[in-house]
């Protein structure tokens, strides 16, 4: 069993010209790549093992991210299941000139814990939600999982 804080990850990226589209906004594909990396690090840290992305829930862009912005990605394991786990990623934008911080995106990703020899799923250590926010995320993750399973 592990606490949520043991596997939390915070990544910080600076939006450079090669990260943007022709409008000077961060490319959605680049942001999805960063989200996947942050979530994979959190999942692997929780499992102390290789994990692979199994699913990404709907990703909505609430605010454009501009060249020169600082992007903070905060990843945290929300809930564990038998061989899979859900990781939530919160994306924030920091305006380097003003220091203002805005919420840009949230995403939920499902990872599977993989045995490196057999390449087969293996059990995930249980998570212990401690704070009220962690407990809410834990409960919400079960509802999202049930919805995902109904769609498949």
* Model confidence pLDDT, tens digit, residues 141-151: 999 999 888 88
CATH architecture of 2-151: Roll (3.10)
pTM value is: 0.93
Q: How many CB atoms sit inside 10 A of residue 14's CB?
A: 12
pLDDT tens string 34-93 = 999 999 999 999 999 999 999 998 787 888 999 999 999 999 999 999 999 999 999 999
Residue with tokens 């999805």: 32
């Amino acid at each position: 069993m592990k606490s949520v804080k043991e596997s939390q990850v915070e990544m910080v990226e600076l939006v450079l010209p090669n990260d943007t589209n022709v409008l000077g906004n961060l490319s959605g594909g680049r942001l999805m790549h960063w989200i996947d990396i942050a979530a994979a690090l959190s999942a692997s840290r929780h499992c102390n093992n290789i994990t692979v992305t199994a699913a990404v829930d709907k990703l909505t862009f609430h605010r454009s991210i501009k060249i020169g912005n600082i992007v903070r990605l905060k990843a945290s394991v929300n809930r564990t299941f038998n061989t899979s786990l859900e990781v939530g990623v919160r994306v924030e934008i920091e305006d380097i000139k003003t220091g203002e911080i805005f919420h840009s995106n949230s995403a939920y990703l499902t990872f599977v814990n993989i045995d490196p020899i057999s390449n087969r799923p293996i059990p995930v250590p249980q998570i212990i939600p401690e704070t009220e926010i962690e407990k809410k995320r834990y409960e919400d993750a079960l509802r999202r999982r049930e919805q995902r399973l109904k769609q498949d």
